[in-house]
Amino acid sequence: MSAEDMLRAAVARAAVDLGAPADFAAHLERPRDPSFGDWASNAPMALAKVLRRKPLDIAHDLVARLDVAAAGVREAYVAPPGFLNFRMAAGAEAARLGEVIAAGAAYGRTGEGQGAPANVEFVSANPTGPLHVGHGRQAALGDAVAALLEATGWKVTREFYYNDAGVQIANLALSVQARVRELAGQPLEIPEGGYHGEYIRDIARDYVAAHPDDTHGANLEQVRMFAVAALRHEQDLDLQAFGVKFDVYYLESSLYDEGKVDETVAMLQAAGHTFEKDGALWLRTTDYGDDKDRVMRKSDGTYTYFLPDVAYHVTKWRRGFHRAINVQGADHHSTVTRVRAGLQALDMGIPAGYPEYELHQMVTVMRGGEEVKISKRAGSYVTVRDLIDEVGRDAVRYFFLMRKSESPLVFDVELARSQSEENPVYYIQMAHARLCGIFRVGEVDAGTVTGAGVDYALLNSDDERELVKALLGYPALVTTAARSRAPHLVASYLLDTARLVHTWYHKHHVLGEPEPIRAARLTLVRAALVVLRNGLELLGITAPERM
């Protein structure tokens, strides 16, 4: 049992002695200000109503009853308005560094998900152009959310949904056809709502080379299929450059080809949640919290966009994904209510909160204090590969993840490219590289440092104690980030921990110290490397040994 668990149990026992319920669970947390000790508990305030006493009086009585020596507590005291604060003895917590090292890559991982399947769908860009920076933020978020779920015991499937049907794809085909005809000497006529990027001209050239019998693009369906395939390949290259891999690519067109959209309509009608009006088929989404009912099938017989989304999520449920998370742009906000309403109207037992949504805000790219709005390849927007080419994959991933998904993100190209303390990803990676350098310079095999026989009481400086606390807090951080689908918490944690590492590195020597101190500090270094490497891996970022 860890010192934390022993302390929590001791507080609970003392509370029961005062008259608290037998199942009382004491809450412990790390104070933000180290001057308030190593641990704090609000147990006195939680007990005030039950015991009908003032929290401060309860706190004093609890301290008098506490037996916390076994937990490594050096001092227990009361702080208004009714907190219990605890200071740990030197080395009491550092003694767990050996557990960190022994766990290695598994440190911070739990079995909370119990191997249950979870589907994380993200990016899901229309195959109408290269991936823009919004898709990039979504790719980083989705991949990190999936990694967090895997770290907490879920069996995750990463899925990409290709919207390869509908008006946008029709406009894509017409745009490529227009460029094919331009190559044949005809006037350029891009359709309204069409695509103007340089990549459209490239696809047209490739099409003519592959189909010399159709130099005017007369076979529009063939043009469409060629353009979609070309852009799917282009997006795959974008994803490869970003280091993102998917387990499943699901085509929207398959929902129509396999009759799943028609089946969903029939099921909704059979469930009694539809009605006809003005020649259109409507769904009573107001029964499920929507502000108004929605058209499913228009009077011309075509379907509105949310119906295939409902059919698609039916396939997820049937495939055994009773937990599904969609990472999408904030412009999909209205989709949430409609899709969930459609799923509940099917009476299949799908819960009200299915699927879960993680919506992200837009990305603004800045260079030299000015917004960058266009790409040489895409024309009207900045692509993911533009950023990767400029600043590297690691910086792009970190910058996309360092803010809450619901917060707008400003991507500063100069900052992301800089090799300075102001660049957070560089700063974190430098902390890892510096610690690796200690083993390299000292010609010490890191694998021989296990923490066995170490006098942990020697790690008694304030900055060492704070670094130890940060390392031991990593598993709880991963659990919290996974439960709240918040990779930015990991990004912030890594930056805070890197600051502690750099502070410690500049204040303390390792290799030139007497053996007991050297052994203790090498153990701290090895444990810090484990945590930094594991945290960076969750975000899909490398942990370099040299910089």
Domains of the chain, each with CATH number or no CATH? 3-89 (3.30.1360.70), 167-232 (no CATH), 421-538 (1.10.730.10)
Arithmetic mean of pLDDT, 167-176: 93
Match 């974008």 to its residue by tokens: 238
Arithmetic mean of pLDDT, 253-276: 95
Structure tokens that stand for 26 in this block: 């004491």
Query: Is the pLDDT higher at 113 or at 5?
Result: 113
178-216 tens-digit pLDDT: 999 999 999 999 988 899 888 999 999 999 999 999 999
- For residue 255, CA distances in Å to 112, 312, 352, 386, 532 come to 34, 7, 23, 34, 43
- For residue 336, CA distances in Å to 36, 41, 333 come to 44, 39, 6
C-beta pairs of 23-30 under 8 Å, 24+ apart in sequence:
28/4, 30/469, 30/473
Cβ within 8 Å of residue 483, ≥6 positions away = 152
First to last CA, the chain: 39
Asked if the model's pLDDT at residue 376 lies above 70, the reply is: no
* Cis previous bond, 212, omega within 30: no
Q: With 0-12 CB in 10 A as exposed, 13-18 as middle and 19+ as buried, what is 268?
A: buried
pLDDT at 168: 87
pLDDT at 378: 56
CA dist 416 and 207 (Å) reads: 38
Q: How confident is the model at residue 324 (pLDDT cuts 50, 70, 90)?
A: very high
Query: Is the pLDDT higher at 2 or at 158?
Result: 158
